[in-house]
A = this chain, B = another copy of it.
Amino acid sequence: MATKFVSERNIKFLLYEVFDVESLTKYEYYSEHNRKMFDMVLKAAVKLGKDLLFPIFEEMDRNQPELVNGEVKVHPAVKTIMKEFGDGGWISSRVPFDQDGEQLPSMVADICEFIFAAANYSANAYPGLTFGASHLIESFGSKALYDTYVPRMRSGEWQGTMALTEPEAGSSLSDITTMAEPTTEGYYRIKGQKIFISAGDHDGVANVVHLMLAKIEGAPAGVKGISLFVVPKKRIDEKGDLVSNDVVSSGVYHKLGYRGCPIVQLSMGDKNDCRGWLVGEPHSGLKCMFQMMNEARIGVGMGATAMATAAYYASLEYTKTRRQGRKVSQKDPSLSPIAIIEHADVKRMLLFQRAVIEGAQSLLMQCSKFVDYQKVLTGEEREKYHLLLEILTPVAKSYPSEMGIQAISQGLQCLGGSGYCDDYPLEQYYRDCRIHPIHEGTTGIQGMDLLGRKVIMHDGQAFLLYINELQSTIKAARKYKVLEKYAGELSDALTKLEEITHHLVSIAQLQGPEAFLADATLYLEFFGHITVAWQWLLQGIAVQKALNNGAAKKDYNFYRGKMFTLRYFFGYELSKTLGLAKRLVADDRLTVEMQPEYFND
């Protein structure tokens, strides 16, 4: 029933007014691009989303994948989607010109993915995963592997996957048991089980290429013994034909949501005839996989934001048309009911959604810009943006995942009873979005990554760079009278963040890692609110610049809405840091000392 799933106005605001993507074209690598071309790409992405993906958003959910005769059957449109995304160059939008790609800035390519995910998250997973897997072969694989797999993946003929999780190794990858036995033929013999593999098998493509973690016989224990392999569903035999590679789909999960994309259980080597080809060096698989995982984590944040964005527009549409009740100051029952968007509490629920989605979208575009900087800069400058991206990745993954659920829940609430029924899309968004705090590393894992790794890495260098970035935004914001208050509030929160971080690091030294990391999830949440407040301040600066430069009248309402949402974020969201801050310094080892047996009864 909803008709809109993204705001093109907001996309352009972020791309051109906040993050100035055009400035990238002054660098050699992006010099052949210009704004006109970016606009065309965006227009094409919106059209593809509208025409191909959005119309089957519900259909793909209602007809979930099933395992039939050993193969996973998916919605027939998946074949078309993979072909369109291949032919249209969407899978290779980030690929350099010299590999026949579009060489688009990440900022533009990522926003296209955002559009696709908003239109239909499950549908976008197929080409999205394929790009990620092909990029891994491109980065670390041999020329032979590249030639065999990459072109067919970029054309959408073959699906790519990331095959990590096993029945006994989810969050703890060091415990994988899938084995790779070396042969003298240039390949390894693979034996093991993988579970929860997104797009792990389906009939919309001719082949599925797994980028799979396994251990070579005799490898060291733990993560140091993990290697990365290409393990295709079908391999090419001597005659050039595709033949079975002994990868069996042993199950497809029935899930709460995200049902348009199959999550598959795989069994390799039941007939002792599963071949895998090593990617990169032996035992360096996790390092390779982390490139893809980091991209995938930001991708999850992007998808979570996109989904919550689509849900926001569906709920906004409803609140504009649904009439119910009267202003609390006008109780006369003979007056006509008003549109529910007139009620302060409904405006609050809409502002909350908007504060989350536009704040998160800004953060993700910030990350994309840092990716672009890594491409065009060198030396210390490059390292700077690398470190900033490292520290922002767990936040960019988890803030949209966690807050997106709350935003969608408020969107559902705007529809009342109708939100609970499948006549409207909110219930599906509510189901779909629950995957995000789980896949590609749970929120708990992200918290430990942020506090236990990123904040302290290189003697706190990434953290320091982060603080500097925020401080320079605060300084810039202070030039605008209307932003002074918010600059001050962010500055206070940032001081608190520094204090708490130093406090926690001292706990690490005094009490060890368990006490240090016990509340890492809360630290992540705290860090997230502050990071998104920074993004709102950046947006506020862009609004003030536009207004000072004589914005077009047709844009007034957009900018007013932005400023109200900024005020909402600082008033309602940033204040959530107060309670978290209190807890983070409490230091009573409560969750460490709690014993499992006290949960009995």
Contact = CB atoms under 8 A, between A and B. Distances in A.
A601 interface: yes
A325 B172 contact: yes
Contacts of A256: 420-422, 427, 430-431
Contacts of A165: 417
Contacts of A346: 444
A315 to B, nearest CB: 11
A167 to B, nearest CB: 10
A447 to B, nearest CB: 7
A308 to B, nearest CB: 15
Nearest to A573: B579
Contacts of A10: 601
Given A255-B427, A327-B514, A420-B435, A443 B413 contact: yes
A344 B416 CA distance: 37
Contacts of A329: 512-514
Contact of A434 (B170, B263, B328, B412): B412
B175 A328 contact: no
B417 A561 contact: no
A409 interface: yes
Contacts of A597: 557
Contacts of A416: 170-171, 438, 442
Interface in A535-594: 557-558, 560-561, 564, 567-568, 571-572, 575-580, 582-583, 586, 588, 590-594
Nearest to A600: B557
B571 A590 contact: yes
A560 B519 contact: no
B452 A437 contact: no
Contacts of A522: 572
Contacts of A571: 583, 586, 588, 590
Grouping DSSP codes into helix (H, G, I), strand (E, B) and loop, the A interface class, with mixed when no group exceeds half, is: helix
A172 B417 contact: no
B599 A348 contact: no
A170 B420 CA distance: 14
Contacts of A331: 222
Contacts of A506: none
A41 to B, nearest CB: 20
A452 B328 contact: yes
Contacts of A409: 405, 434
5 contacts: A171-B416, A253-B420, A256-B422, A348-B518, A351-B591
Interface of A: 7, 9-10, 165, 168-172, 174-175, 195-196, 221-223, 253-258, 263, 316, 320, 323-329, 331, 333-334, 337, 339, 341-351, 354, 405, 409, 412-413, 416-417, 419-423, 427, 430-431, 434-435, 437-439, 442-444, 447-448, 452, 512-514, 517-522, 557-558, 560-561, 564, 567-568, 571-572, 575-580, 582-583, 586, 588, 590-601
A-B interface, 4 closest residue pairs, ranked by CB to CB distance from nearest: A222-B333, A561-B598, A575-B579, A172-B325
